[in-house]
Amino acid sequence: MPKLLMGFCALVTIFVLPKMPSADVLEQTCSHPSDTSSELSERSLMQFKRTYKLHEESDPRTNQIGLPSFGSEETRYTCAGCASSSGIGSTAELSETGFNAVRRECCTPEMADFIRRMIETGGAGMGVCASGGLFGIAIFFDCTDDNVDNNFDKLTSLVTGPGAPGAGGDCPWIGKPKQLNGCPAMKDSCPSFPGATIPPCAPTQPPTTQAPTTPAPTPAPTPPPAGVCKWPQTALKYSLITKGFAKISAHLVYSGVVVGGGLYDKTPNEHGIIGSNKPGKSYIKWKSSPNQWEFKPGVQTGLKLSDMFTWSDFEWLANNLKTEKDLKTATENGFRIKVFNKGGTYNMYDSNGATQGYDKGKSLMVFTTTDDITLTKTNDGRQFGPTVLAPFAKVFLKGDAGFIDGCVIAKEFDSDGGGLQMHGDCYKGPLKCE
């Protein structure tokens, strides 16, 4: 073992990750005995994970793959000798679902491929300049035994967009490799560990050759506790509430937003206002850079969604709102509720009675599906009026809709078209549950 590592942690590989927040991203920190907390706060921390042993070169007998040095030229690696090398990192959808599918393979090169694609789609010309940095972060997201906080939203915040931490600091590894001088320079102090290896790949649940056994009887599931047939407190104050990310292209969002993941500005070259007509503070986990959002009266970042809402309350409400036979609609005093159990493309005429883009809180469309949902204009060009409750799904608002008059509560949200508006005039009618 190189003497450089003897004072750190024996028999583990040490990687340098530029300006990574150690407290909530990485599980453990390994420091030299002479390090002090003040010194560590002024430079990148040396991190380690599990038991990555050092070798002078790759050992084919153990199916271990040599890890590139931190400053090495970007190189592609394959998952040699591993049954789970399916190429899923190159094909999985760049979403939370795709991330979880790759993670179940517990294969660092597959996750590295997935992250590389995230970077390349995160901005024009963006890419990996140094494979050492790519693999240095991949090992902390590549398997289901990783820290639960190392999720898709966290990974997205670290590697996408020009403001990604990996694109800055003393040892940047993200840049624009296809452009002349597009890769930022690294300092000479950036370390290199050419003998480091990554472990052999193994799926989370490898196939078994044991004879099947008769499973024990499964006890009857405990019924979930009864929910409350009303909106969670303060929910109707916001134009948009999401459990995960929100990608907003609207230039006017009339009231505040609550975003449990990252807030992306889909039109970063255009000025946009959140809280333009009904000023109210917004709460988000983090926001992309660059952006030109103006928040009225302000925004609080670092949101922990559970401090504001219990997401299962929205899920219970969606699953229990009262419906009527085949129409699946409940109408009272001009208020309309319709429940849908599949994804697809919808306009306001699908809500059984909504005819005006300015719905004024009269209509509610509820989706119990996990399929993606697209909201668009009617065939005669009317905007989208109803409020949408879709706590299990991603909702996409098309720019041709012009505006959505109601609110959106969804697992994730996306949109296109810079001329959009989100009015946040939430459903005001009664709720009746099963």
251-291 pLDDT, tens digit each: 999 999 999 988 999 888 889 999 999 888 999 988 887 78
Residue 213 lies in a domain: no
Of 246, 259, 268, whose CA–CA distance to 418 is shortest?
268
- Taking CA atoms, 375 is separated from 32, 55, 327, 397, in Å, by 55, 54, 20, 5
Q: Which residue has the higher pLDDT, 321 or 240?
A: 240
Using the 3D structure, point to which of 145, 177, 198 is the last residue of a domain: 198
Is residue 166 over pLDDT 60?
A: yes
Give the mean model confidence (pLDDT) for residues 292-302: 91
Residues 25 and 169 reside in one and the same domain: yes
Residues 171 and 274 reside in one and the same domain: no
Q: Are 384 and 375 in contact (CB under 8 A)?
A: yes
The residues facing 408 across adjacent strands are: 240, 388
pLDDT of residue 185: 86
Is residue 209 over pLDDT 70?
A: no
Domain boundaries, position 103? 7-33+43-198
Residue 132 lies in a domain: yes
Q: How many domains does the chain have?
A: 2
Give the mean model confidence (pLDDT) for residues 30-57: 29
In this structure, of 154-158, 354-358, 423-427, the range with the lowest mean pLDDT score is 354-358
- Output the pTM of the full model: 0.55
Of 98, 167, 176, 157, whose CA–CA distance to 134 is shortest?
167
Residue 69 lies in a domain: yes
Q: What is the 3-state secondary structure (H, E, C) of the chain?
A: CCHHHCCCCCCCCCEECCCCCHHHHCCCECCCCCCCHHHHCCCCCEECCCCCCECCCCCHHHCCEECCCCCCECCCCCCCCCCCCCCHHHHCCCCHHHHHHHHCCCCHHHHHHHHHHHHHHCCCCCEECEHHHHHHHHCCCCCCCCCCCCCHHHHHHHHCCCCCHHHCCCCCCEECCCCCCCCCCCCCCCCCCCCEEECCCCCCCCCCCCCCCCCCCCCCCCCCCCCCCCCCCCHHHCCEEECCCEEECCCEECCCEEEEEEEEECCCCCCEEECCCCCCCEEEEEECCCCCEEECCCEECCCCHHHCCCHHHHHHHHHHECCCHHHCEEEECCEEEEEECCCEEECHHHHCCCCCCCCCCCEEEEECCCCCEEECCCCCCCCECCEEEEEEEEEEECHHHCEECCCEEEEEEEECCCCCEECCCCCCCCCCEC
C-alpha Rg value of the chain to the nearest Å: 25
Q: Are 191 and 135 in contact (CB under 8 A)?
A: no
Residues 295 and 170 reside in one and the same domain: no
Residues 27 and 137 reside in one and the same domain: yes
CA distance 282 to 239: 10
Residues 181 and 249 reside in one and the same domain: no
Q: Which amino acid is present at 19?
A: K
Residues 22 and 167 reside in one and the same domain: yes
Residues 260 and 186 reside in one and the same domain: no
Burial of 22 from C-beta contacts in 10 A (0-12 / 13-18 / 19+):
middle
Residue 115 lies in a domain: yes
Residues 176 and 279 reside in one and the same domain: no
Using the 3D structure, point to which of 146, 172, 198 is the last residue of a domain: 198
Q: Give the pLDDT band of residue 354 (cuts 50, 70, 90).
A: low
Is residue 334 over pLDDT 50?
A: yes
Residues 115 and 194 reside in one and the same domain: yes
CA distance 112 to 238: 37
pLDDT of residue 319: 93
- Taking CA atoms, 390 is separated from 253, 342, 402, 408, in Å, by 19, 11, 20, 8
pLDDT of residue 170: 82
Residue 167 lies in a domain: yes
In this structure, of 302-306, 308-312, 389-393, 408-412, the range with the lowest mean pLDDT score is 302-306
Q: Are 374 and 358 in contact (CB under 8 A)?
A: no
Residues 286 and 341 reside in one and the same domain: yes
Residue 298 lies in a domain: yes
Give the mean model confidence (pLDDT) for residues 326-339: 69
Residue 133 lies in a domain: yes
Q: Which amino acid is present at 246?
A: A
Residues 160 and 29 reside in one and the same domain: yes
Q: Who's near 126: CB < 8 A, 6+ residues apart?
A: 119, 120, 160, 161, 162, 167, 174, 175, 176
Q: Give the pLDDT band of residue 200 (cuts 50, 70, 90).
A: low
Residue 382 lies in a domain: yes
pLDDT of residue 74: 41
Using the 3D structure, point to which of 171, 198, 225 is the last residue of a domain: 198
Q: Give the pLDDT band of residue 67 (cuts 50, 70, 90).
A: very low
Q: Are 162 and 290 in contact (CB under 8 A)?
A: yes
HSE-CB for 34 with a 13 A CA cutoff: 1
Residues 139 and 91 reside in one and the same domain: yes
Q: Give the pLDDT band of residue 6 (cuts 50, 70, 90).
A: very low
Q: What is the 3-state secondary structure (H, E, C) of 316-384?
A: HHHHHECCCHHHCEEEECCEEEEEECCCEEECHHHHCCCCCCCCCCCEEEEECCCCCEEECCCCCCCCE
